[in-house]
Chain A
Amino acid sequence: MTDELVPDQADAPPAAPPPKDPTEDAAASWLRRVSSSGSTVTVLAFVLALVIGGILIAVVNPAVTAAAHYFFAAPLDTFEAAWTAVSEAYSALFRGAVFDYQADTFAKAIRPLTETMTVATPLIIAALGVAVAFRAGLFNIGGQGQVIMGASLSAYIGFTWHLPAGIACVVALLGGLFAGAVWGGIAGVLKARTGAHEVIVTIMLNYVAISFLAYFLTTEAFRVPGSAEPKSRTVRPEAQLPLLFGSQYRVTWGFVIAILAAVFVWWLMSRSRIGFQYRAVGFNPNASRTAGFSVQRITVYVMLTSGALAGLAGAVQLLGTSKYLTDGIAGTIGFDAITVALLGRSKPLGIFFAGILYGGLSAGGRFMEAVTGTPISIVLVLQALVVLFIAAPSLVRTIFRLPAPDAELKGATA
């Protein structure tokens, strides 16, 4: 709806904009612009990324390179080789991510999809956390640190505490949630009390968390007795997330948790009173203050919520997929979550699909590399390009000649 052609009111004199408020965060206003750009842009950004990715695949493909040597003799050979390379790579990507139509049985054919779901699960949950912060005008770049802390505490609870099945898993998940909330909350409190910018603080807290994790793995409390490996004990079976579709697939109840988290975030941001305040503070802290909201308290709550979701993502990854702690437990979940949140335009449903897409690219990328020899780095390039185009909606609009969302002024204020 916001990408409709609704001009600014004609009386808003564009040549004389109101004095810009210096407290208005440039980053926050960019964020608002990006997240309000239409889903058309998102889809087109993906198409554009695929096209450029295709060119890259062709360029690095040995067959294409060989054909290019005699390009002027038989130019069609080059194009044919390029077409083959790109179509094979992308079809392998599809087979690795969604449905392997060459598999013997249906159960095997749909395994890629379940792999995608497995990879997507922690991404979706962490991205929901990032999105809550985004929509409240805060940049939580600390997803990585919150994921690590969440995974660490849930692992500790998971392999130390002897609790009955069911309860053990829930307690371990709550532990992860709590640890992430604390880690995010630190940034929130610092922002509210001292004005320290949350971007800087969360980035630094990532390093602290990484170092903590390295330290944990050297302690007796975490390490496997008698082993020197930087690897923790495995969580007790009662604390592990049960499998969702049986032992054939790796998908766990974590996927259901991700869906529940998405529903929760939808309720929080669209239906709850606290979420109303989150959004109000995100859009206009001054008006929120005038309306009697405590901007500082809300800032802390937002970071607690955001961190809690990231911590939950870490717990789900640990209790569902990896089962023990290593220094690479968080992978790049915390950073990819930012991308997924942007891709999903900070809306729960959008994030759910963006997470699936991202998970699919990762799962499919591995398969593509194995089958066609196309380097998996192409997938990283694709992911990066999608984000790049989404972050620059006007670029996409220019390329596809879409109308601008607002009647823009040439020359702005002269």
Chain B
Amino acid sequence: MLLELRGITKRFGPLVANDHIDLVIEPGQIHALLGENGAGKSTLMNVLFGLYEPDEGEIAVDGSVVGFRGPSDALAAGIGMVHQHFMLVPVFTVAESVMLGHELTKGSFLDLDSARAQVRTLSERFGFDVDPDARIEDLPVGVQQRVEIIKAMARDARVLILDEPTAVLTPQETDELIEIMRQLAAAGTSIVFITHKLREVRAVADVITVIRRGRVVGSAAPTAPETELAAMMVGRAVMLELDKAPAEPGAVALSVRDLLVLDGAGTRVVDGVSFDLARGEILAIAGVQGNGQSELAEAIVGLSTPLRGSILLEGTELVGLSVRDVLDHGVGFVPEDRSHDGLVGDFSVAENLVLDLIFDPRFRSPLGVDLAAVQANATQRIEEYDIRTQGPGQPAGRLSGGNQQKVVVARELSRPLRLFIASQPTRGVDVGSIEFLHRRIVSERDTGTPVIIVSTELDEVSALADRIAVMYRGKIIGVVPGDTPRDVLGLMMAGVPLDDARRQAAENPTTETKLEEGDL
């Protein structure tokens, strides 16, 4: 199926999200759509999927113009979409999920057998290895994603849109997804692959279209160097490698001993974790999402109370202190989910910049809050962190992801710290802002602050870490130097102990390593 987007324009008030975008997707092609967050990729795909009506332009399938009034029209035309956040019902089985939306019936009963058969057929054809009777909530994220793909394929999707599909995957799972994409393409399915990750694009795409600020700024061959792609994406040269001076670790500042944290259900989410962290050092806690890293960070800040163990920060026991007390002891914390835990979306940028500093004497006045000081602080931080806003009074919830994150980081770094913890500091943040935030974090380290970075992104871990602690199922399964190869880290994140991981990585290098070595 030949899919063409011709001159698609979509405006939201004064903002032009898509500005006359032309795109041709050939049958069996993997077409990567590369762009920063906010470039308009998702808007374009929502237009294609029938969720938005374009203000101008048209969509043509096999040469004839079509009008989609909703996702069902798009599905009927053979366009399937796998959203970044999966649209699955946790308690359904795989077969039920695949059937959802176009239920097969036998008489007045659901025909689950046919659905099962369908899942098996598709699974075998593409080597998916998915059990039709498994419940969605029991499946790992990578498999859930395959269910989404099966869903689309079960409806004869001939164009499959994958919106940031690798954001939630481990490197190994990413490799498997890339393999699946290749097979689908070989079978004639076109794939639109939306991403901002350069490695993956180069590994899998046939054609790369780069979008910036709602326009197509060019296309590139997959052989184009990463720096060139990044420059096209951001519109200026970007330093992909963070050049940071080697750490000069001082005395041990934080020591965590035998920390045990239970979740609401009584599961050990942090299971006997111990580590030390020195002044002027960045420790990255790597791991696949949901292996206890976030809970570890929350326990240190006091958001949850450990059942056992100790967290000693420069001689002060943090276990048992309230969040307020922990923050007052000089701990800066950037939570994982900034819009959920880091910002009050309806508050202005200025208010958010003092959210946990409201008791700080700097912002006190005899009558309460010193609004002038709050305003001056906002002006200063906005300037310093290059936060793109309409002004300090703009609600923080209206900023883009990268700018929201800058607000949180700016706030947390705007007071003297004894410890800085950042969970997923650059999740959903564009390349330009990532570079900036990383520099900030490193410069905080260089002033002697011990830093903990919790990240599921290996790129980030490798860029920032002086040491890396890999967590798996609530335990630290190894602490390795910052320059440990990605393959080894990836395997450790999947639960393979360090020595085994080293051996296996040497035997089966992944695509990414191959790419780095240039033998693809």
Binding site for B on A (CB under 8 A): 2, 5-19, 21, 32, 36, 267, 271-273, 275-277, 279-280, 283-284, 286-294, 407, 409-411, 413-414
Contact = CB atoms under 8 A, between A and B. Distances in A.
Interface residues of B, number: 62
B85 A16 contact: yes
A14 B355 CA distance: 27
Nearest to A409: B51
B341 A13 contact: no
Nearest to B51: A15
Interface string B18-54: 0000000000000000000111101101100111110
Interface string B66-87: 0000111000000001011101
Contacts, number: 146
Contact of B51 (A14, A18, A271, A279): A14
Interface in B293-311: 301, 303
B333 A290 contact: yes
Contact of B163 (A16, A290, A413): A16
B340 A410 contact: no
Nearest to A412: B51
A291 B367 contact: no
A15 B83 contact: yes
Interface in B78-117: 81, 83-85, 87
A32 B397 CA distance: 14
B324 A414 contact: no
Contacts of B40: 10-11
A379 B398 CA distance: 41
Given A287-B343, A410-B70, A414-B71, 8 more contacts: A11-B37, A11-B401, A13-B83, A13-B163, A272-B368, A272-B369, A275-B368, A292-B328
Given A14-B46, A14-B51, A18-B339, A294 B344 contact: no
A404 to B, nearest CB: 11
Given A6-B398, A287-B340, A411-B70, A271 B371 contact: yes
A132 to B, nearest CB: 15
A19 B303 CA distance: 21
Going nearest first, the 6 A-B pairs with the smallest beta carbon separation are: A7-B12, A11-B38, A291-B356, A292-B324, A10-B17, A272-B368
Contacts of A6: 13, 398
A411 B50 CA distance: 9
Contacts of B303: 289-290
Contacts of B84: 13, 16
A9, A18, A293 interface centre (most CB from chain B within 10 Å): A9
Given A283-B345, A290-B323, A267 B367 contact: yes
A18 B339 CA distance: 10
29 contacts: A5-B13, A6-B13, A7-B12, A13-B46, A14-B46, A14-B52, A15-B45, A15-B49, A16-B83, A16-B163, A267-B367, A271-B369, A273-B358, A273-B359, A279-B347, A283-B344, A283-B347, A284-B345, A286-B340, A287-B341, A287-B343, A287-B355, A290-B333, A292-B328, A293-B324, A409-B51, A411-B70, A413-B87, A414-B72
Nearest to A281: B344
B399 interface: yes
B495 interface: no
B400 interface: yes
Contact of B356 (A21, A292, A414): A292
A21 B340 contact: yes
Nearest to B11: A7
Contacts of B400: 9, 11
A288 to B, nearest CB: 7
A294 B341 contact: no
B341 A290 contact: yes
A290 to B, nearest CB: 4
Contacts of A273: 358-359, 364, 368-369
Given A15-B46, A292-B322, A292-B356, A7 B344 contact: no
B342 interface: yes
Contacts of B339: 18
Contacts of B51: 14-15, 409-411, 414
B53 A280 contact: no
A409 B46 CA distance: 10
A373 B281 CA distance: 83
A262 to B, nearest CB: 17
B512 interface: no
Contacts of B520: none
A410 B73 CA distance: 14
Contact of A7 (B13, B351, B359, B399): B13
B335 interface: yes
Contacts of B345: 283-284
Nearest to B428: A11
A280 B214 contact: no
A13 B335 CA distance: 21
B369 A11 contact: no
Interface string B309-351: 0000000000000111011100001010001111111110001
B15 interface: yes
A279 B46 CA distance: 35
A276 B14 CA distance: 32
A11 B196 CA distance: 12
B340 A283 contact: no
A301 to B, nearest CB: 15
Nearest to A286: B341
A77 B42 CA distance: 61
B367 A409 contact: no
Contacts of A9: 38, 398-401
A289 B351 contact: no
B356 A284 contact: no
A16 B81 CA distance: 11
Contacts of A10: 12, 15, 17, 38, 40, 42-43, 214
A8 B43 CA distance: 11
Nearest to B44: A10
Given A11-B38, A280-B344, A283-B344, A289 B323 contact: yes
A198 B70 CA distance: 40
A6 B70 CA distance: 24
A18 B71 contact: no
A355 to B, nearest CB: 25
Nearest to A288: B344
Contacts of A13: 42, 46, 83-84, 163
A11 B341 contact: no
A8, A276, A280, A287 interface centre (most CB from chain B within 10 Å): A287
